[in-house]
Amino acid sequence: MTTSLQPQQPATKHWRFGARFYIANLMEVFERLAWYGFFAVSSVYMTTPQSHGGVGFSDSQRGAIQGIIPFFLYLLPVLTGALGDRVGYRKMFIVSFMLMAPGYYLLGETRSFWPFFAALSLVALGAACFKPVVVGTISHSTNDHNRGVGFGVFYTMVNIGGFIGPMVAGAMRAISWDAVFLMSAAWIVLNFIPVLLFYRDPPALRQQQASLSLILKQAQQVLGNARFALLIALSVIVLMSAGVQWLSYGSAFLLIALWVGANLLWDRLPVATMSAKTWWRQPICISNPRFALYLLILTGFWTVYNQLFYTLPLYIRDYVDTGDVLALLAVFGDSAVNFFAHVDQDALAQAVNALFLQLQQEPSDIDLEALRLQWVHYKVNVPNAELAVLVERLSLLAQQQAQLSKVQLTAMVDALSAYRQVNPEYLINLDFAAIVLLQIAVSAVCQRFKTFYVLSAGLVVMATAFCYLITMDMHASGWAVVCVILLIALAEMLTSPKSQEYVASIAPKQQAALYMGYYFVSMALGFLFAGFLSGWSYSQLTLVLGRPELMWGLFAGVAALTAVALICFHNTVKK
């Protein structure tokens, strides 16, 4: 028997973190509670009419906001991270909270597009200041022996905040929509306590000025030169212009094609040469074509995954009958039913009375589908056949009496309340629950397989989830949607961690960390395309054409195409 001459690190070393580590995790939980408290209900809130407490945006406006704002949120940390190294983490935390707290509050106070856009931009700017410094704090608070455990704890906190936030938001919107935003602002205000009283910058933090020129030089080293950046930037701006309805999508795509063509033509002219000192005379150069192509392919995954938050909540609200899920919840008593499927009976009574008065004045045919879609905002999804019976009864009463009696009104509201529905955010929340409970186990199983196979499997699972949605009709069951959400959660657990790990296999060996810092570009583009696709497809394919299967087919096709593209990419890289 031999003994090692190397000193052994005690197991407890892996769990020894300073107070700064735990403070950062606490602030991360509060920030995630605020963000996901809003994010999980954002689609529903933005498309809820103002008469029901929402802002009444069109799906195109909603998609533009959900695409553009997160796009910048995931791009800005390159600059805000460098700024944090320069001015100190504590100051950046304070600035971020000073931006986010009023931003969340103002989201509940604005009722038109551009003020809402500005308020959410304030939140995004604050979040972009927060993200790099909280990750930096975790990095400074760990070492080679406990870094894996430390970041594991950190990402667990992220998902715990993501799980609890929507639960609290759902309870708040049973009070009012304003309460949702006040709660998000309150979570951020709570973060002032630890940062002001307890947090101190890491001693090893190098407060050196990271110049903008250095950041741009690194971006050029990883992505491409200034001509390439200009090509992409103007293309994105034109696409955003279509998203906010300054241009039609047809005009936008035409302008982008002309812009790309003009750049390619310029590169063929004798004036364009790599030896030129002025940037505009240099031809377009992609520094690492393999990495750029990988980011573009991965954009497809994030485009489809974000439909979990952008499109599925609306589909659940408008077309899914969650009565079967509610039947299980009823086992736990009326309190559980009222929590997960709260119905404001006073507001519903006002809606019934308004319909009665309308029938008195205009005893014409009622568009039952339009009425059903209007009343889903009261959290009841009444079948058209039942609505027809109710309208017929109200029409008869409207001819016989001037107003409904309290007994009649109560009976009708009770009958309608039988069709109450589980809040979409509670069902979407199963994604976070699955990740918190299963991510470690899934990751352990995936260790046996090569990164590429796990990554591809995740994309196939994602495509399968949306293919399953294609098989549903306009009124799907709650348990079917639960299965879809769990499939999407499994796809995320497979793809998200491995997509970052795969970067190491295509990045230059000595620059893996630098390349990893630009992985988020795929997420930023994914949010951008997800918002625009969600707004267009839900508006045109589901609401106008009444063909949601076309929308789900579109997303399934994007996931499948991404999987095929990744396989082709991997086979090319291996050669």
Q: Where are the domains positioned within the chain?
A: 16-196, 225-285, 288-341+425-575, 343-417
> 288-341+425-575 has which fold?
Growth Hormone; Chain: A; (1.20.1250)
- Given the structure tokens 């190397």, which residue do they identify? 6
- Given the structure tokens 């570009």, which residue do they identify? 521
Task: Report whether pLDDT(9) > 60.
Answer: no
Tell me the two tokens of residue 186: 């309150």
| Domain 16-196 CATH class label | mainly alpha
Helices 113-140, 59-75: crossing angle, 10 deg rounding: 30
Rounded mean pLDDT of the chain? 88
Helices 478-506, 430-446: crossing angle, 10 deg rounding: 40
**pLDDT average, residue stretch 378-403:** 91
Q: For the chain, how far is it from start to end, CA to CA, in angstroms? A: 47
Task: Report whether pLDDT(121) > 90.
Answer: yes
**pTM attached to this predicted model:** 0.90
**pLDDT average, residue stretch 170-198:** 95
Picking from 390, 342, 398, the residue whose alpha carbon sits closest to that of residue 366 is: 390
Q: What angle do CA 267, 268, 269 make, to 5 degrees?
A: 95
pLDDT tens sequence across 479-530: 999 999 999 999 999 988 788 777 767 777 666 666 767 888 899 999 999 9
pLDDT tens sequence across 521-567: 899 999 999 999 999 999 999 999 989 999 999 999 999 999 999 99
Per residue in 75-107, is it b (16+ CB within 10 Å) or e — as a string?
Answer: bbbbebbbbbbeebbbbbbbbbbebbbbbbbbb
The CA distance from 25 to 90, in Å, is 14
For residue 277, the model assigns a pLDDT of 74
**pLDDT average, residue stretch 409-436:** 93
Per residue in 383-421, is it b (16+ CB within 10 Å) or e — as a string?
Answer: eeeebeebbeebbebbeeeeebeeebbeebbeebbebbb
Residues β-bridged to residue 412 = none
> DSSP letters of 364-421?
S---HHHHHHHHGGGTB---HHHHHHHHHHHHHHHHH-SS--HHHHHHHHHHHHTTB-
The CA distance from 116 to 125, in Å, is 14
Per residue in 333-361, is it b (16+ CB within 10 Å) or e — as a string?
Answer: eeeebebbbbbbbeebbebbbebbeebbe
Residues β-bridged to residue 380 = 420
For residue 120, the model assigns a pLDDT of 96
pLDDT tens sequence across 55-104: 999 999 999 999 999 999 998 887 888 788 788 899 999 999 999 999 99
According to DSSP, residue 278 is labeled S
Can 16-196 and 288-341+425-575 be said to share one CATH topology?
yes
Of 570 and 45, the structure prediction assigns the larger pLDDT to 45
Q: Is the dihedral of CA 240, 246, 248, 251 positive or negative?
A: negative
Name the least confident of 50-59, 192-201, 215-224, 420-429: 215-224
For residue 352, the model assigns a pLDDT of 93
